Structure 1
Amino acid sequence: MQLFEQDRNNSQPILGDVVDQFFAPVQFDALTQLVNEFQRLKARITEVHGIVTEEKVSGVMGYFFSGNSSDQYGHGATLRHTNAFNEIFNLDGALNDLTATFWSRALSLTDLQEHMPQARRNQWHECLNAWRQHGYKRGTNPELDMPEFSLDNLRATIQGLMARRAEFLAERVDGIFRNLSRSHVTNTPEGFSKRMILNHIFSDYGTIDHTREGYIHDLRLVIAKFMGRDDPERATTSRLLNLAKAHRGEWIEADCGSLRVRAYKVGTAHLEVHPDLAWRLNGILAFLHPMAIPESARTRPKRAKACGFKSKALFDRPISNAAAGVLAAMEQYFTLEPSTSRRREYDRKFVPNTLCVRYGSAEPSKHLLEEVSSVLEALGGVPCNGGKHKNLRYWQFDYNPEQIVKAVAVSGQLPDAKSHQFYPTPAPVAERLVQWLDIQPTETCLEPQAGQGGIADLLPKDRTLCVEVSPLHGMILREKGHTVIEGDFLAWNPGTLFDVIACNPPYSEGRWQAHLRYAGTLVEAGGRLGAVLPLSARQQAAELLPGFDLEFSTPIDNAFASTSISVLLLKATKAKPKGMQMGLGL
């Protein structure tokens, strides 16, 4: 077998800890057992062939074919013709299929084929299936002849593959770049620092080319290793591309902001790698092309480069790829109710705004299920048991969560509570604040930094505008039926004033002061500003809101889950100009 005869003259090393992450340790005892199983099956196939092809047996087999040409429903059987006998019981075909099956099993046991470059996997696939092609003759093209499946061949092949792991890693990255870029690396010295274009990823019928999808999945696998994440499932790459196809012309960020994809109607896909990872990929390209990649392209940037990624810095607390795979495959929960139809015993009754682990899929481990549940609860899901189905858990939302959860699964991240200061307003606190503001039927409302709508849900939707910086939270708000402006509230200029503003601003680094001061400038004369604030606000609010009459609630201890923060509520009423007051008096 000549699949791995190419030698490299470059001696530049790839770090061993990087290479070791890509391959599972080889268990040669398991391979020995595999060879023993192969020998037993080979002997049995040969024995069955000898029995079936004996003259006494083969002479009567035609009657079985003719007498059983259709099943009990009248459908044609697979074997309908007497002349199919010699083809079906051809010994070479059966043994070739057995050999190909066991070579595939051996490579799966060692985890090598999964982490080979796509080009190497294509070579293996071609070799293990060449015998199926019309006109194939062993020896005509030795590179396409399957090697004998023996313990000696197996050990030599596996050890040879293991010895070339560093080269395979470099080839994998090179293969990704060659297939995802307009030109070869030697013509594009910036390497992964530039945008890459993949042609013909989508067919005219909307289907995805499996091989070209494999290069994108290769890229995600390499990125996952560099980020210290578990491997993504192949199905999640398909979902990423389908999501990009559904939002043509828009950038879809994936894998914690490390990669983004944009699909086009003509069937192409554009990809960009985050600058903080591009230099590492370029370092591997330099293993194969040392003179082609300049030093600047394979050196870590001293500071974040300007780029189109929404998050300039990579997210450091990602969702695991295993959890993302479960989230992406979740489906609406349903119960089985007695059917009114004679054709079936039960009907499915879907429960609105719910998600559960896909029916029939493997039960996630306890720790994986805990991670999945924590993500769903962060999105507003409430865990429930399955009622009649005690062992089935599902999550109930107050909006349709399907698209939101799929978007989170693709992005691989949630807004971090600490860095984004996202602490959902507890329902009792929100209800108390909104009731205190006494909103009238014609008054317009605003909630800045609306989060997932803890306060906005209690405001009149037809007269309320939400401002939210997080795209994910913006999606949730829109799914709930709110009108949303996506952006930083402090940089937003609405050009109008509001009768009522209700907010729970972020507290750290003086942000609540900035939000309160700016919100005060957007209140109509005679309007009210309500806010959930830290206890220290009592001393500072008057300076931040000149021209307002201030009222404070009693302290509310331990207001937010998982924190010990005590807060108070502020109701600030903006005074009307003297002329307006006199006019009302008249």
Structure 2
Amino acid sequence: MSSLDSEAKPDNAGHSVLALTTSHSLVVSSPETFLPDMRKELGIIADLVESYNDELCLLKLMAVQFKTHNHQKLYSYLSGYNHSISEADALFAENALRSEYWKRVMALTDVLPIMSDAKRNEWDKQFTADRYIMPPQVIPDFTADAVVGTVVALLNDRNQFIKERVYDVFQSLSRSHKTNKAFGFSTRMITTGVCEPSKYPWQKLRVDFKESGISPLSELRVICAFFRGEQVKAIHNTKSLVEALVEHEGFRKWICIDGNSIRFRVYKNGSMHIDVHPDIAERLNNILSAIVPLALPADRMAHSKKSLEAFPVLKQCIDFDTRMQLSELMFKNDGDNKWSCWTSLGSLAERKSSSVAADTLRFLGATVTKYDVTFSYDPCEVIRYIGQIGEMPDIVSHQFYPSSCRISEYVSSLLG
């Protein structure tokens, strides 16, 4: 039984405990035994609160100065606008400052990416400053007690957030296909509305992929990443990934992604068949049966022995952020066996120790400078492989450089 099957209730907000973690298990101890182990995280909170208080005092002093009648014209000189500072302006400035610090704290956890879209939008609405909301909003105070209590409660609710997302994916499956209800995530799932044909007078018949139809697959990718023990991040490239892979592999072909945790195939009628790796599917079914006990039969292992053996082995993945960055690189042949790409990844050469993207490119044989990436071979295929599977290609078995014509012709003659 999965550890997510038990309900997780928030600790008392007054307890000074915090767990800044990205793993898929959360262990909370009593304050007496927990505090010494989490001293570093509590120190980060204390530093942020101290920095916030310092900036808040400075902000209030500046507001008082610029609200003084004699100083209003000086503010106009600085800002370039001919208006004064009002009480509403000062209130918004304080809200904006609190909002920034709340975002800094939440960036230390993986809670927001785990939330469903509805809950994340609700959070953003409460903690994002907006100058034009009437009546003026008030962002919650940024104090040590408020921060620790809120973050601990959210961390303890992570399990519930995952449960809700699993159930939402199950609910989004096609109602017209019986396999979607028989065995939950242990059998083939079908979603519709993935693509539709379109034809314009000046174009050939083409297939347009729809974000709404692909969203269940995108949600599954997030959930499977959680169960692989990876840091959960929002995924924005599922539609473009599916488009590229279907163009490369074709319709009606099984395509594995994300460390072989998911495989799918797309049909021209707009339906998509999805299989989840059996190891992860059983854990998802444990969650589903806890939410809706009668939704699944007691014997819910629908995968046959043959299909279990055919499913590829799970692999460790590079993080989604790096893979999405790499997939955005567009290389062109500059001649003389050089493929280059201007990069917006930042000064990769200056962040050798911290940039996974830069390290990945260098491992593949690239020369990474401040503004571009250069290969001595066409890297498109290997970049596609990393974006699809998420693992680094094996340096022994993977052929990075294409064979010369002489070798290709010789091997072809041997094969007859």
For the pair 1:396 / 2:376, whether they are aligned, the reply is: yes
Change (3 A) 1:393 1:134: closer
Q: Which of residues 286, 289, 297 is equivalent to 1:286?
A: 289
Change (3 A) 1:289 1:200: same
Contact 2:113 2:232 in 1 (8 A): no
State the Cα RMSD in Å: 4.9
Alignment of 1:471-486 (within 5 A): none
Alignment of 1:86-235 (within 5 A): 86=85, 90-129=89-128, 131-132=130-131, 134-136=133-135, 146-179=139-172, 182=175, 188-192=181-185, 193-197=187-191, 216-228=217-229, 234=235
Q: Which of residues 270, 273, 279 is equivalent to 2:272?
A: 270
Amino acid at match of 2:307: K
Contact 2:262 2:274 in 1 (8 A): yes
Secondary structure of the residue aligned to 1:41 is helix
In 1, Cα distance between the equivalents of 2:362 and 2:75?
Answer: 58
Secondary structure of the residue aligned to 2:141 is coil
Secondary structure of the residue aligned to 2:296 is coil
Query: Between Structure 1 and Structure 2, whose CA radius of gyration is higher?
Result: 1
Long gaps (5+) in structure 2 = 9-20, 28-37, 199-207
Alignment of 1:397-416 (within 5 A): 397=377, 400-403=378-381, 405-412=383-390
Secondary structure of the residue aligned to 1:502 is helix
Alignment of 1:2-151 (within 5 A): 12-13=5-6, 21-22=23-24, 27-58=41-72, 79=81, 82=82, 85-86=84-85, 90-129=89-128, 131-132=130-131, 134-136=133-135, 146-151=139-144
Secondary structure of the residue aligned to 2:222 is helix
In 2, Cα distance between the equivalents of 1:361 and 1:304?
Answer: 49
Q: Who is 2:259 aligned against?
A: 256
More strand by share: 1
Alpha-carbon distance, 1:52 to partner: 0.9
- Deviations along 1:290-340, whole A, 9 cap, x unmatched? 22222333x48562438xxxx932234455336645643445389xxxxxx
- Deviations along 1:327-378, whole A, 9 cap, x unmatched? 43445389xxxxxxxxxxxxxx67655357946353454995666555x4xx
In 2, Cα distance between the equivalents of 1:29 and 1:333?
Answer: 48
Long gaps (5+) in structure 1 = 1-10, 69-78, 139-144, 335-348, 377-382, 428-451, 467-500, 504-528, 530-586
Q: Percent identity?
A: 19
Change (3 A) 1:108 1:458: closer
Contact 1:332 1:350 in 2 (8 A): no
Secondary structure of the residue aligned to 1:272 is strand
Change (3 A) 1:280 1:300: farther
Alpha-carbon distance, 1:262 to partner: 5.6
In 1, Cα distance between the equivalents of 2:6 and 2:288?
Answer: 12
- Deviations along 1:495-519, whole A, 9 cap, x unmatched? xxxxxx423xxxxxxxxxxxxxxxx
Alignment of 1:536-547 (within 5 A): none
Change (3 A) 1:260 1:366: same
Contact 1:233 1:321 in 2 (8 A): no
Secondary structure of the residue aligned to 2:295 is coil
Amino acid at match of 2:389: S
For the pair 1:313 / 2:311, whether they are aligned, the reply is: yes
Change (3 A) 1:50 1:416: closer
Q: Looking at both structures, which has the greater relative contact order when contacts are Cα pairs under 8 Å and sequence separation is at least 6?
A: 2
For the pair 1:303 / 2:305, whether they are aligned, the reply is: yes
- Superposition TM-score, scaled by structure 1 size: 0.50
Secondary structure of the residue aligned to 1:314 is coil
In 2, Cα distance between the equivalents of 1:265 and 1:55?
Answer: 69
Change (3 A) 1:111 1:321: closer
Alpha-carbon distance, 1:458 to partner: 3.8
Q: Who is 2:13 aligned against?
A: none
Contact 1:201 1:212 in 2 (8 A): yes
- Deviations along 1:539-564, whole A, 9 cap, x unmatched? xxxxxxxxxxxxxxxxxxxxxxxxxx
Contact 1:225 1:231 in 2 (8 A): yes
Amino acid at match of 2:387: A
Q: Who is 1:354 aligned against?
A: 339
Change (3 A) 1:406 1:37: same
Q: Who is 2:414 aligned against?
A: 502
Contact 1:199 1:269 in 2 (8 A): yes
